[in-house]
């Protein structure tokens, strides 16, 4: 039960961070937002190191580095996929691969799930698809390259969950800190390269989350207002806390079923994004998205009882 609650909390917090990142990416480059948020996310993790400790053993550092690389590559590939194909198809596809990849790895590793748990997981994956579904005004076509890029991006997001599942029991927040440093360095490097190249004030990719719709190519300001700084800082803090929740959910009680359950629930993060978009931006949720939210709630209850 507590594993489900922590995983859902992580998903909702992820969704809130994505919402803030999407807002910020409407006024500056998305990759710059991602890099800055990754750097800011170090602060709450450093506080966490003082509270719960951090043991930088070889395995902890290796796993953290893997999570950082996987997350960075996934973010960049997602941006690329959404820049060349329809969000209405590629966003749900990415979310499904993010949910299913750890499940497949767990099953190959010998994890056995009950029939109720299987049913709840299937419903949850369906909910992921429905909640992530967005209107597609651009008329962009689905291409093989876009589909493959979105699928690999999803596997990258799933790789983050797999990495945190492999964190040593005594690591504390060490792996989270390493992952955050790697992300900040990699995404920061890409942000600098994009800013220095000709036409660097034009964002070549869709803003941070597909739920927050915007034109694929928008002129961005190089200046950051105080409001933008606060938005990006909040995004970074929430993203770091979400990662901590996911790691805690994976290691709570060390149940064999924790990996598939947490991975699928974690992929429900668009729920938080679309709900906040509806409340703050008055964006209307579609009937399909409402159906997905209801199914997500039902699947969560089912997993908690399974």
Contact 186, 72 (CB under 8 A): yes
Q: What is the pLDDT of residue 272?
A: 82
Give φ, ψ of 218 to 5 degrees: -135, 140
Distances (CA, A) of 192 to 8, 182, 186, 196: 34, 15, 10, 6
Dig out the tokens for 188 from the structure. Answer: 């920061």
Contact 65, 207 (CB under 8 A): no
How many domains, the chain?
A: 1
Q: What is the pLDDT of residue 205?
A: 47
| Domain extent for 188 | 2-305
* Collapsed DSSP state (helix, strand, coil) of residue 224: coil
Dig out the tokens for 211 from the structure. Answer: 């739920």
* Element at 203 (helix H, strand E): strand 202-203
Q: What is the DSSP letter of 257?
A: T
Distance CA 17, CA 97 (A): 20
Contact 102, 158 (CB under 8 A): yes
Q: What is the pLDDT of residue 200?
A: 54
Contact 13, 236 (CB under 8 A): no
Number of neighbours of residue 145 by Cβ within 10 angstroms: 12
Q: What is the pLDDT of residue 213?
A: 44
Mark the ranges of the chain whose per-residue pLDDT is less than 70: 87-88, 134-140, 142, 199-222, 253-256, 306
* Collapsed DSSP state (helix, strand, coil) of residue 172: strand
């Amino acid at each position: 039960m507590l594993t489900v609650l922590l995983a859902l909390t992580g998903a909702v917090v992820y969704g809130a961070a994505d919402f803030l990142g999407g807002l910020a990416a409407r006024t500056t480059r998305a990759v710059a937002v991602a890099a800055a948020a990754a750097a800011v996310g170090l602060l709450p993790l450093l506080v966490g190191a003082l509270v719960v400790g951090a043991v930088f053993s070889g395995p902890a550092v290796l796993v953290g580095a893997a999570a950082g690389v996987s997350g960075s590559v996934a973010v960049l590939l997602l941006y690329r996929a959404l820049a060349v194909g329809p969000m209405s198809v590629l966003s749900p596809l990415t979310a499904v691969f993010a949910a299913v990849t750890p499940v497949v790895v767990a099953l190959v590793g010998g994890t056995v799930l009950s029939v109720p748990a299987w049913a709840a997981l299937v419903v949850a994956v369906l909910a992921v698809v429905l909640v992530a579904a967005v209107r597609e005004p651009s008329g962009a076509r689905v291409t093989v390259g876009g589909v493959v890029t979105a699928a690999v991006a999803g596997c990258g997001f799933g790789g983050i969950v797999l990495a945190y599942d492999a964190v040593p029991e005594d690591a504390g927040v060490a792996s989270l800190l390493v992952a955050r440093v790697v992300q900040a360095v990699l995404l920061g490097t890409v942000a600098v390269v994009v800013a220095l190249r000709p036409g660097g004030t034009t964002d070549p990719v869709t803003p941070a989350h597909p739920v927050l719709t915007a034109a694929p190519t928008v002129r961005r300001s190089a200046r950051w207002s105080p409001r933008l700084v606060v938005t990006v800082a909040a995004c970074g803090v929430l993203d770091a806390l979400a990662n901590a929740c996911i790691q805690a959910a994976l290691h709570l009680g060390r149940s064999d079923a924790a990996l598939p359950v947490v991975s699928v629930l974690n992929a429900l993060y668009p729920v938080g994004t679309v709900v906040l978009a509806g409340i703050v931006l008055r964006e209307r949720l579609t009937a399909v998205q409402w159906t997905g939210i209801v199914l997500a709630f039902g699947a969560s209850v089912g997993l908690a009882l399974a």
